[in-house]
Amino acid sequence: MTMTEVLRATLTLYHGAFRATMRSLARSWMIAVALVGFGGLLVAATAVAAQLGMVGGFIVGAVNALVIGALLSLIEQAVMESRRVVFGDVWSSVGHYFWDVIGVGFVLWVPSMLLEKGLAGNPHGPFLVAAVFLLLFILLNPAPEVIYQVRHGSPLDVIRQSYEFVIDNWIEWFLPLAIVVAPLGLSFFFWVSSRLGPGAGLNFFQILALPFTLLVAWLHILGLSQEAGSWLVALLTPPIAVAMLIFRGHLFAALHGTSRRLRQFQGRFGEDA
């Protein structure tokens, strides 16, 4: 397999995922509206729970799982079912994948909490914790797609399949993110990933954090005023976050269960036809 053939197969892969994303996004713009509503619900729950101590933390975790599960259900409809998402779908999505999100979050939360407490007195503790969170961000990055696209039996199964997918497809999976982040510098990637935490992409504010931070950085580079930039960031973050989730869904569907050699063969077969 020559480098030219690999490049051609990869570009074909991204072209197909991008076109599918545009079609899905045109039919599923309602998800961006739902995202704003979910955010408002979680902010309200966080404000109430702040007065309840540890119990409040569990309440916020449950509400987060509720809105993430609903969001994944809506993305599933846009990506896997290829149909228009309407307002009624938002209500019917509530409750979907709730226990999947809770289970994966709990499996990651316990060792992460022990790690932070164990390194609290270490002068290098913050760096080590950030490094572990970065590793989790990389190895468990496709966990949301595994939940709604792949049959799994337990949270550990989700974690295992996410890890195996990244090992097999790390170049194709992370290259789009690397292209977007590259002009901002490698330090920006480490800065963002260290603030995403160990949630494997299953924390609502994590989903918004990356597009929000990227928009702020890019608008700063373009020289927009802070006032105009703030309005644009607030307006564009929800649809861009949804577009990223849909693109990830289509890319995952194209990559899962295939290999680079098979994709190259399929691309060559398509050209011959």
Rounded Cα gap, residues 271 and 76, in angstroms: 30
Tokens representing 187 are 């330090």
**Could you report the per-residue pLDDT of 29-42, keeping only the tens digit for each?**
999 999 999 999 99
Spatial neighbors of 97 by CB under 8 A, at least 6 apart, are: 68, 69, 70, 72, 73, 147, 148
Residue 124 has pLDDT above 60, yes or no: yes
Q: Are 143 and 154 in contact (CB under 8 A)?
A: no
Q: Which of 244, 242, 266 is nearest to 254 (CA)?
A: 266
Specify the amino acid at residue 178.
A
Residue 199 has pLDDT above 70, yes or no: no
**Could you report the per-residue pLDDT of 209-238, keeping only the tens digit for each?**
888 888 887 777 777 766 666 788 888 999
Q: What is the pLDDT of residue 190?
A: 62
Mean pLDDT score, 52-77: 92
Q: What is the pLDDT of residue 192?
A: 61
Could you give the number of structural domains in the chain? 1
Label residue 8 by pLDDT band (50, 70, 90): confident
Residue 25 has pLDDT above 60, yes or no: yes
**Could you report the per-residue pLDDT of 148-168, keeping only the tens digit for each?**
999 888 999 999 999 999 999
Domain of residue 36 covers 3-272
**Could you report the per-residue pLDDT of 95-123, keeping only the tens digit for each?**
999 999 999 988 888 888 887 778 777 77
Label residue 241 by pLDDT band (50, 70, 90): very high
Cβ atoms < 10 Å from Cβ of 264: 18
Residue 90 has pLDDT above 80, yes or no: yes
